[in-house]
Structure 1
Amino acid sequence: MNMTVSATNWLMAFLPLLFLLALMLGRKWGVAEAGSVAWLAAAATAWFFFDTPAEVIGYETVKGTWSAAKVLYVVWASILIYEVTNEGGAFEPLRQGITRILPDPLMQVLAFGWAFASFLQGVTGFGVPIAVCAPLLVGIGVRPLYAVIIPLVGHAWNNTFGTLAVAWLGLSQATDMSPALATDTAFYAAIFTWVLNFFGGLLVCWVYGKSSGVRKGLPAILVLSALQGGLTLVLAQWNPTLTGFIASTVAFIALFFVAKLSGYRHAKPADSIIFEDSVRQGKGIAPAPHPTSSGERTAAAPSMTLNQAFIPYYALLIITFGILLIAPVKAALATFSISLSFPETVTGLGFVQAASRASFAPLIDAGTFLLLAAIVGYISFAMMGCMRSGSMGRVLYNTLDKAIPSTVAVIALIAMSNIMAGSGSVFVLAQGVAAVTGTGYGFLAPLVGGLGSFMTTSALASNILFGGFQLSTADAIGLKSSAILGAQTAGAAAGNMIAPGNVLLGTTTAGILGREGEVLKVTIPLFMIVAVIIGVIVFFVA
């Protein structure tokens, strides 16, 4: 191989990422537009500077598109199940039912801002927890600014294994992990996720009432984090696809039992500064119906119960477990798969990419489970009379409207990452960073993941963007690859606290559009706290 690391070729290898950064942070472009330009930059750099043949660039682009299709199947279905639930008007009955069961104000805040936000991240993701939970918190009297901050912090931990592990799938696709490496990486990712989860819960209590809020909420945090983080650690070794979904579901159910503890079972004054003055004075607040995707507000069907509102998610539980836990059913459905084979490629500088084969079994894929659950939910809500005229069209239109930018972004980023990997650019980047940072790089790994989420508003996109780089850097330095990749995805998850797209969704649905800077002034320090804690752990274990 004739590839050497110098300042010039390192900068050329970094050029596609530089385009991405400049366009997104400097020009305020969206990730879909900036990612497309970055893909072109990666192709041009590979062709002109790294002597990569056109057929290799083509293979890597096709390989990236194929990998993206498997990820996007989950993305589209996740958005669909949210749109069905929203169109059915199920979020307001959820708010009313939960507040009736949980009389304590702190428990209500933890319910909506941590437990339910985490549950939604386990099922849908892509900003939905923020878009939904911010107005729900406003509906119980929380000031809009805090109503955005709290779910941003509370949901972040479930961004790796949530959404039926789509971010984990993206990391796997970007790094082509072997089964052994995937098992070890899942272990470290789960450990770091548990750290993020525990401190996320504590930080929500801190926002609620500083040290007194932490003292009051600590018993609930210990129990719920043991379930969320503990189950994540155990289940990640069994089935990463179900990990975040099961862990967040069990903890959300357990919350209602925790609320029966002596310190939480009775209604108390909402004495926290995060509540509106009218609530703190006992005057209450008018319920705020959940906004539709078009920005209009609709009243939920008055006859819908809490259990009825959860029908799509009950269906998802039954379908998922019915297929994955019944071995003969799973085996029969898994026989149908689609595969593509890619040959070994070699650049003009002698950089080799091994041959590979990528398979997709759609009938046992998370996207199919979400799709079927969305269909069950739509039919159920329609039978209850909760779907208005034109509901089907609105659901499909809003799904399409939300999914197109994600589709373009994911395809562009994965294709760009594949071209950079196939041309040797990632190898050059990793060697350069390894030479500068040495073994101290482990401390920086979660910050790199967080930067990716800040840039792209997605843990999935961050894992795609930086997964290969993190793996190559770990190999170049001699660090434990599984720990570095675990730190990447944990940092990417934490980065959702500061992801501009998530912040914008929250300020929009909470009615404080334009105050995104105020939100970031709070969430950036909170992100840095957890990223530094994880970084210190990585430094010692990697």
Structure 2
Amino acid sequence: GSSPASPPGENRTLPPPLTGALASYGGLALLMTAVAWPGPLRDNLYPVLWQMKFPEVATLNGINTPAGAGQAFRPFVHPGTWIFFTALLSYAIYRRTCLCAPGDLARAARATWRSAYPASVGIISTVGLSTLMEHTGMTQLLAQGLAALMGASFPLVSPLVGILGAFATGSNNNSNVLFAPLQKSIAGLLSIELSLLLAAQTAGGAIGSMIAPAKITVGCSTVGLTGREGDVLRKTLFYGLGIGLLLGGLALLLTR
């Protein structure tokens, strides 16, 4: 039978695992707020950075990328740093309160690695491809070709570029990494508002993520439709392309 209800006036306490989980998330929220809040702490942590210097790169076709500094990594204001510290602190607290076993940290690390490895490989590869395309002039060449082909009507197909990127790479983020430089180049060539093309790009990427084969495979395996990915793709492709064209029409209207 069900457990008897607590007598009126009796204090009810949360289960220890729930209390520990809430403490972990609460601690992370406090740390992130303290680091992000303007003040002495952020002023002292923000200047600490790692930044690589890159030499000039020139191709045989005359495409030059001037020497300069790469993206700055600020470890003490990066969310990942504090998530890592919070995880270690939470584990120490759980061990002292006997909420986890000695081998739980290693098991959690292995599970995290198995989950993060595929995504990390994909992101690193996509960023590398995007950088290669930009530094060798491929992005600019594609932009010139599309600008000449579509002219002022390019916003109509701008979301379709985002859809193509997400369909090929499996995520909106990777699509933006790959094709945002292309959209930027076309915006400059056609004198179109950059923010409009980037909005169309990322909106298309969000739609493309819905019809990406990688996402469909995962979804089908979750609901027991393994082997029917082709049927699902054919149905979602119609909606994805239709929404993409509607977004393109809206983007084209906004340029008028």
TM-score, scaled relative to structure 2: 0.79
Aligned to 1:318, what secondary structure does the other structure show?
helix
Take 2:89 and 2:232, find their aligned partners in 1: how far apart are those partners?
Answer: 37
Distance 1:530 1:337, change over 3 A: same
Give 1:432 deviation, angstroms.
0.8
Take 1:387 and 1:512, find their aligned partners in 2: how far apart are those partners?
Answer: 36
Q: State yes or no: 1:421 paired with 2:134.
A: yes
Q: AA paired with 1:330?
A: R
Give 1:539 deviation, angstroms.
1.3
Q: State yes or no: 1:399 paired with 2:112.
A: yes
Take 2:20 and 2:223, find their aligned partners in 1: how far apart are those partners?
Answer: 25
Question: Which residue is equivalent to 1:411?
Answer: 124
**Residue 315 (structure 1) aligned to one of 5, 11, 27:** 27
Take 1:530 and 1:312, find their aligned partners in 2: how far apart are those partners?
Answer: 41
Aligned to 1:363, what secondary structure does the other structure show?
coil
Question: Which residue is equivalent to 1:470?
Answer: 183
Give 1:537 deviation, angstroms.
2.4
Give 1:430 deviation, angstroms.
0.9
Root mean square deviation of aligned Cα? 2.9
Q: State yes or no: 1:360 paired with 2:112.
A: no
Q: State yes or no: 1:490 paired with 2:203.
A: yes
Q: State yes or no: 1:344 paired with 2:56.
A: yes
- Contact kept, 8 Å, 1:311 with 1:380, in 2: the verdict is no
Take 1:479 and 1:307, find their aligned partners in 2: how far apart are those partners?
Answer: 53
Deviation track 1:106-132 (CA, whole Å, cap 9, x = no partner) reads: xxxxxxxxxxxxxxxxxxxxxxxxxxx
Take 1:382 and 1:502, find their aligned partners in 2: how far apart are those partners?
Answer: 37
Aligned to 2:62, what secondary structure does the other structure show?
coil
Question: Which residue is equivalent to 2:8?
Answer: none
Question: Which residue is equivalent to 1:32?
Answer: none
Distance 1:489 1:397, change over 3 A: same
Question: Which residue is equivalent to 1:448?
Answer: 161
TM-score, scaled relative to structure 1: 0.40
**Residue 460 (structure 1) aligned to one of 161, 173, 180:** 173
Give 1:333 deviation, angstroms.
0.7
Take 1:514 and 1:496, find their aligned partners in 2: how far apart are those partners?
Answer: 20
Within a 5 Å distance, the mapping from 1:234-313 to structure 2 comes to 303=15, 309-313=21-25
Question: Which residue is equivalent to 2:45?
Answer: 333
Q: State yes or no: 1:505 paired with 2:215.
A: no
Q: AA paired with 1:424?
A: G
Bigger Rg over Cα:
2
Within a 5 Å distance, the mapping from 1:132-151 to structure 2 comes to none
Any gaps of 5 or more consecutive residues in structure 2? 1-13
Give 1:339 deviation, angstroms.
1.4
Q: AA paired with 2:129?
A: M
Choose 366-375 or 330-339, whichever is displaced more.
Answer: 366-375
- Contact kept, 8 Å, 2:17 with 2:99, in 1: the verdict is no
Distance 1:439 1:384, change over 3 A: farther
Give 1:498 deviation, angstroms.
1.9
Aligned residue-pair number: 241
